[in-house]
Structure formats: C-alpha cells, structure tokens
C-alpha cells in the first residue's frame, strides 16, 4: 500500500458538531482517561498508530469540550462529534452516542445537544401533543388511555372490553404490549373487532376515542400490521422500539399512507436505564429518543413503584418531551403502572395537565362497572385540572 494514500486529503467537515453529555464513573484521572477513550472508541475505534494525521485526527475524532467533577467518584463530560457522522437514522444516532463505549460500562449518556441541522434530518413526531389533542378535541386536560388486557383473552372479549372503555369516554385505548399475533388471538381479528367496538361506542357517546393496536415483529410484518390496522379503523399505533429498533418507529412516522399517532412502549429497554452508572438516563431514553424517532406519546415506568426511577427522572423525561428541539413539536409524557385515582393530584402537580394517564388493572376492580370507573376517573381528572371557580 503506497504510504501517501494513508493521508486523507479529500476529507472535509463543515465544522458543525453535535455533543453528548456523559456521566463517567471513577476518579478525576479515570474520568479523563475514559473521556479521551470515548473520543476514539465512538469514532475510529483504533489504536493511535492507525489514526492518520490531517482531518481524521483533527476533526473526525470526538473532542472533550467539558469535564468536571460531580462528586470525587463521578464526573460530567461533554464530548462533541462532527454532524457528518450522523445520517438521519436513529440507529446511527444510537451508535454515535454509546454504541461502542457502552460495552465498557460505567459510562452513562445523560443528555444530547443536537444542532437544528441534525434534528431536521430525523423524523420527529407527526402530531405531537397539540396535534393529538386536535384529533381528540381535548385541548387542555390530561388525556386518559385504557389498556386492553390480559393476554389470553379472545378478540371478542377484548372488543367487549374496548366497547365499555369507549362508553366510559376515555381518549385512547391501547393494546397491552403482550398482545401480538397469537394463535388464540390473531392480530387481524382483534384489531378489526376492537376498532369496530370503539367506533360503535364513539357514535353513541359523541366522544372521540382512538384505538391503538400493538404492531410488532420484523419490519415487513410490522408494516403489514400497520397497514391493516389503518384500514380497520385504528386511531393510533403502539410500538416497542427496544424490540423493533428505533428506526422502525421512524419509518412508521414517515409513511405518508399511515397518518396515525404513535405511542412508544419501553419493553426491552430496561437494561439501558436500570443501573445508574451505565446506559442511558431516563430523560434521554424515554424522552429525547422516542421524540426524535417520531413518538407522540412516550410510556415509561412511574416512580414510587417497583422500578429504579425517581420523581426527578420523571420530571426530566417530561422536560425532554417539551423542551425546544429544532422543529420537533412537544410530545406527551405518561403516568403509567398501577395508576390509581389517588395519584391524580401528585401526577398533575409533577407534570401539569399535558400528560396521559395509562389505566390498566385499577379500572377493573368491579368488572360490571368498567364504564363508571372510567367516567369517575375522568371527572376526578377534570376536577383536578379545571381552573378554580
């Protein structure tokens, strides 16, 4: 190989960079070493003798632009990279922020700072909170979403449940993430029956209600399910980007034939956040990433239950759903997981009115009073969020 060709003379960068904030575990010396290694591992991942002088060494490598102690054993580093290393896909964004460094552990992504040029190439939500509220004609109060479960019910049983929920005037009804395309409950029959049941109840109440089936599987069947759901009258779609890849959410949000709001579910994303010194902080994992990928609503565990997530984490997720982010409209955070009426005030105090209550088992304590349980919850939410007289 001619020696001369190892200089990359044609390589040019705009100079515009995006940056990633990390929390690094260890002493000041450890943090410096880790930050310097990040600059290499997240770009060329090569030994020093393989990195040529010129544009690769001077511009392509990551750069530590801030490094400061949070505690003696924990440091905050901000590392920048050229925007030319991104390509408008979520998979390349994930690769760039933690793909290789994540294999070492003790490094956690805590924030992203993306120039508008980067955000505009990503899909972002098609509806956002405002667009979804326009669809539902619910301008201000928290939205209510009931859940179809349990797995094992027949399409007919789930449709009966959906009918009752819609008569109870909930705004959304979503499949539980466990519902897929099982021999005992086929996707197509379930979606057709549930969509029909919801439409029938909606005509009766005069209240709009969106049914969100869970679409899953490899990309071709995912797209086929999305198309069938649209045709059957679904009003939104539920997707698990941890299983499908975040790019699948982007693809659904981009499809012009599919004009439905998207709900992101955290299935199989747990490993990324459960350990506080590695992975990806909840605000990024459940806030920024689903929003950039095109989710209109993001579901995640609520603090105070069995999950290693704090009130502060949930507040930061909401902030990530709402902060200025290029042309991305704000999206809706959620209060999910054994949610009961007793937590309405607490959730509204934390999130304000722009959130979705996800209601699973609690609505069903009295199986013959589903409709009134939904209406009761709605009244309590309205009372909690109406302006005082």
Q: Which residues contact 121 (CB under 8 A, 6 or more apart)?
A: 86, 87, 88
Q: Is 266 in the site for a copy of itself (CB under 8 A)?
A: yes
Is beta strand 63-71 parallel, antiparallel or unpaired with respect to 74-82?
antiparallel
Q: Is 311 in the site for a copy of itself (CB under 8 A)?
A: no
| Cα–Cα dist 215/224, whole Å | 9
DSSP alpha helix (H) spans, 52-89: 55
Q: Indicate the Cα dihedral angle 46, 50, 53, 59, nearest 10°.
A: -20
Q: Is 301 in the site for a copy of itself (CB under 8 A)?
A: yes
- Cα distances from 161 to residues 144, 180, 318, in angstroms, run 15, 17, 30
Nearer to a copy of itself, 25 or 130 (CB): 25
Q: Is 157 in the site for a copy of itself (CB under 8 A)?
A: yes
| Cα–Cα dist 357/171, whole Å | 10
Shortest distance, position 130 Cβ to a copy of itself, whole Å: 27
Interface with a copy of itself by CB under 8 A: which range of 152-160, 199-207, 326-334, 381-389? 152-160
Q: Is 197 in the site for a copy of itself (CB under 8 A)?
A: no
| The one among 308, 323, 327, 352 contacting a copy of itself by CB under 8 A | 308
**Edge to edge, what strands does the sheet with 143-148 contain?**
210-212, 172-175, 143-148, 356-359, 334-335
| The one among 23, 75, 126, 272 contacting a copy of itself by CB under 8 A | 272
Shortest distance, position 386 Cβ to a copy of itself, whole Å: 30
Q: Is 360 in the site for a copy of itself (CB under 8 A)?
A: yes
Nearer to a copy of itself, 46 or 319 (CB): 46
Sign of the Cα pseudo-torsion (29, 35, 36, 41, in order): positive
Interface with a copy of itself by CB under 8 A: which range of 63-71, 104-112, 314-322, 344-352? 104-112
Shortest distance, position 278 Cβ to a copy of itself, whole Å: 5
Q: Is 16 in the site for a copy of itself (CB under 8 A)?
A: no
Q: Is 365 in the site for a copy of itself (CB under 8 A)?
A: yes
| Cα–Cα dist 316/310, whole Å | 10
Nearer to a copy of itself, 20 or 132 (CB): 20
Q: Indicate the Cα dihedral angle 160, 133, 225, 170, nearest 10°.
A: -10
Q: Is 99 in the site for a copy of itself (CB under 8 A)?
A: yes
String of contacts with a copy of itself for each residue 317-356, x by CB under 8 A: ---------------------x------------------
String of contacts with a copy of itself for each residue 62-81, x by CB under 8 A: --------------------
Range 219-238, binding a copy of itself (CB under 8 A): 219-221
CA proximity to 258, closest of 228, 219, 301, 291: 228
Is beta strand 279-280 parallel, antiparallel or unpaired with respect to 107-113?
parallel
Shortest distance, position 290 Cβ to a copy of itself, whole Å: 15
CA proximity to 363, closest of 375, 354, 355, 353: 375
Q: Is 49 in the site for a copy of itself (CB under 8 A)?
A: yes
């Amino acid at each position: 190989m001619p020696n001369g060709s190892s200089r990359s003379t044609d390589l040019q960068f705009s100079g515009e960079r995006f940056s990633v904030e990390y929390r690094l575990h260890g002493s000041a010396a450890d943090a410096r070493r880790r930050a310097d290694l990040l600059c290499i591992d997240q770009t060329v991942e090569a030994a020093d003798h393989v990195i040529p002088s010129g544009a690769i060494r001077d511009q392509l490598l990551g750069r530590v632009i801030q490094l400061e102690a949070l505690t003696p054993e924990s440091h905050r580093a901000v590392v920048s990279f050229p925007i030319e290393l991104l390509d408008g896909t979520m998979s390349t964004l994930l690769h760039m922020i933690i793909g290789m460094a994540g294999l070492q552990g003790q490094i956690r992504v805590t924030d992203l700072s993306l120039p508008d040029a980067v955000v505009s190439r990503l899909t972002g939500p098609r509806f956002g909170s405002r667009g979804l509220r326009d669809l539902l004609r619910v301008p201000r109060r928290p939205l209510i979403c009931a859940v179809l479960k349990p797995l094992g019910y027949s399409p007919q049983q789930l449709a009966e449940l959906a009918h009752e929920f819609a008569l109870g005037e909930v705004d959304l009804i979503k499949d539980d993430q466990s519902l897929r395309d099982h021999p005992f409950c086929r996707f197509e029959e379930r979606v057709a029956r549930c969509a029909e049941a919801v439409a029938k109840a909606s005509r009766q109440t005069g209240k709009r209600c969106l049914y969100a089936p869970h679409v899953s599987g490899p990309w071709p069947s995912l797209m086929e399910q999305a198309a069938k759901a649209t045709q059957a009258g679904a009003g939104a779609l539920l997707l698990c980007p941890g299983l499908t890849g975040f790019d699948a959410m982007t693809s659904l949000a981009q499809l012009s034939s599919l004009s439905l709001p998207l709900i992101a579910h955290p299935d199989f994303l747990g490993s990324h956040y459960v350990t506080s010194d590695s992975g990806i902080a909840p605000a990024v994992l459940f806030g920024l990433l689903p929003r950039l990928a095109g989710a209109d609503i993001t579901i995640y565990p609520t603090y105070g239950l069995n999950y290693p997530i704090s009130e502060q984490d949930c507040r930061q997720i909401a902030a990530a759903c709402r902060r200025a982010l290029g042309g991305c409209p704000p999206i809706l955070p959620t209060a999910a997981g054994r949610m009961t009426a007793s937590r309405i005030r607490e959730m509204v105090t934390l999130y304000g009115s722009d959130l979705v209550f996800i209601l699973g088992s609690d609505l069903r304590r009295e199986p013959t009073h589903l409709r009134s349980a939904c209406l009761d919850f709605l009244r309590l939410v309205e009372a909690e969020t109406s302006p005082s007289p």
